[in-house]
Amino acid sequence: MATKPIEDHATGAHAAPMTSRDLISICDFTPAEVESVLDLTALLKERPADFRGALAGKQIVLFFEKPSLRTRLTFEAGIHSLGGVSFFVDQKHERLGVRESLSDVAHNLERWVDGIVLRTFAHETVVKMAEYAAIPVINALSDFEHPCQALADFFTLRERFGDLKKVKLAYVGDGNNVAHSLMLAAASTGSHIAVATPKGYEPDAKVTAQAKKIAAKTGAKIETMTDPVAAAKGANAVYTDVWASMGQEEEAAERKKIFAPYQVNEKLFAHTEDGAVFMHCLPAHRGDEVTAQVIDSAVSVVFDEAENRLHVQKAIMLLLLGGGMRRFPLRGAHV
């Protein structure tokens, strides 16, 4: 299904129901829809048996150009637990669109299956697939966004702290795909996010502007800065990600030097609010972006985040493929 470019996404309600839409960016959901995703996630987590068979008869294909543990397995486990069928296509050895055009791939897939889950290098690949295919496309990580991760992370924060409007999240490290989706999710949920990156590694300016535009309506606070201590001050959660993302392996040594002051360690964590948690999308590199003392301590919620990938992606698939809001009427639904 066609998705509008990021600039065009209004923060108001979509006229269309959620079925047959895509999730390429967090901005594909209105703030009310994000809330509905989180509400449905809570139900799915609490009462999984009530949803067995909700995707019965649905077939979903996963194309991954990059490695994955969590995303692949949580999608596959989620599809199967809802009664659907999944196919995994390993695209690590050849990027999509090389053997045949992306549009031909899309027009084949839409004849066979009900949904496409894509992990790509270029964000453009997932945007174009969504444009060409007449079935829902879900971004399972591109070089620009990781929306399923951010939704699971904000669900994790809501489980811990309740009202997301009272939460301050500090993101420390690279202004990458995960940072982008977290900023947009913070904007949608009315949270406060402070993103601290080295100069030259800031989040994309378009994402920051979009997050601030959404924040103007939701009451969120979006801050970017270079000082990790300023970001961590008073935070309820400190989040970091790898310093070199998949595809940036050759920059790893140089990045290690640049990002060293951005390591999340006990000294940085000491600036947070009482009860603060540590977050990471995983995989993590202990001794680089986070010390073992922090990630392996009681403040770490990294495995809650990983678990919640399963529940939130089930909610996303049900809303996009499984009958939409009409079947699961929740507060904030615009159908």
Rounded least distance, CB 49 to ligand NVA, Å: 30
Q: Give the residue closest to ligand CP by C-beta.
A: 71
* CA 263 centroid distance within chain: 22
- 190 by DSSP, 3-state: which? coil
Q: Using the rule CB under 6 A, which residue among 54, 105, 242, 306 binds ligand NVA? A: 242
Q: Is 149 a catalytic residue?
A: yes
For residues 36, 118, 50, 134, the Cα torsion angle rounded to the nearest 10 degrees is 80
Q: Which amino acid is at 16?
A: A
Q: In the range 127-156, which residues lie near ligand NVA by CB under 6 A? A: 141
- C-beta of residue 310 within 8 angstroms of C-beta of residue 287: no
Nearest distance, CB of residue 274 and ligand CP, angstroms = 28
CB 201 within 8 Å of CB 172: no
Q: Are 173 and 240 in contact (CB under 8 A)?
A: yes
The residue among 149 and 176 lying less far from ligand CP, judged by its C-beta, is 149
Q: Can the peptide bond before residue 283 be classed as cis, meaning omega within 30 degrees of 0?
A: yes
* Active-site pick, 123, 146, 280, 311: 146
Q: What is the DSSP letter of 300?
A: B
If one asks whether residue 68 binds ligand CP (CB under 6 A), the answer comes out as yes
Q: Is 70 in the site for ligand CP (CB under 6 A)?
A: yes
Interface pick for ligand CP out of 43, 282, 299, 335 (rule CB under 6 A): 282
Are 81 and 48 in contact by the 8 Å Cβ rule? The answer is yes
Question: Exactly one of 241, 263, 311, 313 is catalytic; which is it?
Answer: 241
Q: How far is C-alpha 290 from the chain's CA centre?
A: 20
71 binds ligand CP, rule: CB under 6 A: yes
Q: Does 281 bind ligand NVA (CB under 6 A)?
A: yes
Q: Which does 69 bind (CB under 5 to 8 A by kind): ligand NVA, ligand CP, none?
A: ligand CP
246 contributes a contact to ligand NVA by CB under 6 A:
yes
Going 233 to 239 to 242 to 245, the CA torsion angle's sign is: negative
Piece of 38-46, 69-77, 84-92, 186-194 that binds ligand CP (CB under 6 A)? 69-77
Say which DSSP state 94 is in. S
- Say which entry of ligand CP, ligand NVA, none residue 245 contacts (CB below 5 to 8 A, set by partner kind): ligand NVA
Cβ atoms of 23 and 139 within 8 Å: the answer is yes
- The residue from 281, 288, 311, 313 that is catalytic is 281
Q: Answer yes or no: 334 catalytic.
A: no
Does the protein bind ligand CP through residue 141 (CB under 6 A)? yes
Mind telling me the catalytic residues? Answer: 119, 146, 149, 241, 281, 309
